[in-house]
Chain A
Amino acid sequence: ETGVTQSPTHLIKTRGQQVTLRCSSQSGHNTVSWYQQALGQGPQFIFQYYREEENGRGNFPPRFSGLQFPNYSSELNVNALELDDSALYLCASSSMGTGRYEQYFGPGTRLTVT
């Protein structure tokens, strides 16, 4: 069974730029959720994708957007980067419709905005 993978591991961007982060879900999972974790805090829910549609969103502005592909992998896009966007970005996969809803997390992408 393949676990959740994320790329890149680390990324440095300049304020105002755009970034795309990628996530491959665990085999057999059809749902991907994205979280942002600032230093010293717990992860905060950004949004979830199921069947290539956004299926719930946290308190994040529209410049945070995502995609899910037919193979259930996903992208998180952030436009007009701000210094406060510096964080660990985590994706988690789960399986809708199976009765088991544990979310399994990837190792994260560390984004630094300068």
Chain B
Amino acid sequence: DAKTTQPTSMDCAEGRAANLPCNHSTISGNEYVYWYRQIHSQGPQYIIHGLKNNETNEMASLIITEDRKSSTLILPHATLRDTAVYYCIVREDFGNEKLTFGTGTRLTIIP
């Protein structure tokens, strides 16, 4: 699995958009970008994933650069409940591929 680089921590004001960057410069052509988050003492929660195109669901948007070497997870209107550690992971989608977690970004939403 390719490695990812994320900032250790970020703050965002409640109600504003939270933009979480991730670098994955060694990503291969068949590797997807996945985002998970982990609220304190809970299991990780799947957020979104994508290959090339930008993706949006009810939780977030994922913007992947054209060269696929970096991506940004966007939480459009952050709430206090979005305070969590956010993990950016790249993996092939063959079904039996493990998730390789780094240390993630600790996002704190400020009231």
- Which A residues have a C-beta under 8 Å from some C-beta of B? 4, 31, 33, 35, 41-45, 48, 50, 55-56, 58, 88, 90, 92, 94-97, 101-108, 110
- Please measure, in the bound complex, the distance between the C-alpha atom of A95 and the C-alpha atom of B104, giving whole angstroms: 25
Check B49 against A45 for contact (C-beta < 8 Å): no
User: If the complex has contacts A42-B104, A45-B100, A56-B98, are A4 and B93 also in contact, measured as CB distance less than 8 A?
Assistant: no
What per-residue 1/0 map shows which CB atoms of B15-33 lie under 8 Å from chain A? 0000000000000000000
Give B34's nearest chain A residue, CB to CB: A102
Q: Which residues of B contact A101 (CB under 8 A)?
A: 93-95, 97
Check B46 against A58 for contact (C-beta < 8 Å): no
Determine if B103 is an interface residue (Cβ-Cβ < 8 Å). yes
- Offer 22 A-B interface pairs, CB within 8 angstroms, sorted by A: A4-B43, A33-B98, A33-B99, A41-B103, A42-B102, A45-B100, A48-B98, A56-B98, A88-B41, A90-B43, A90-B44, A92-B99, A95-B95, A96-B95, A101-B94, A101-B97, A102-B46, A102-B49, A104-B46, A105-B44, A105-B45, A110-B41
The interface residues of chain B, by DSSP majority, are classed as: loop
Give B103's nearest chain A residue, CB to CB: A42
Give A30's nearest chain B residue, CB to CB: B95
Q: A96-B95, A106-B43 are in contact. List 5 more A-B contacts (CB 8 A).
A: A31-B96, A35-B101, A45-B98, A56-B98, A108-B42
Q: Which residues of B contact A4 (CB under 8 A)?
A: 43
Give A103's nearest chain B residue, CB to CB: B99
- Please measure, in the bound complex, the distance between the C-alpha atom of A42 and the C-alpha atom of B84, giving whole angstroms: 13
Check A55 against B96 for contact (C-beta < 8 Å): yes
Check B95 against A31 for contact (C-beta < 8 Å): yes
Q: Which residues of A contact B103 (CB under 8 A)?
A: 41-42
User: Nearest Cβ in chain B — how far from A56, in angstroms?
Assistant: 5
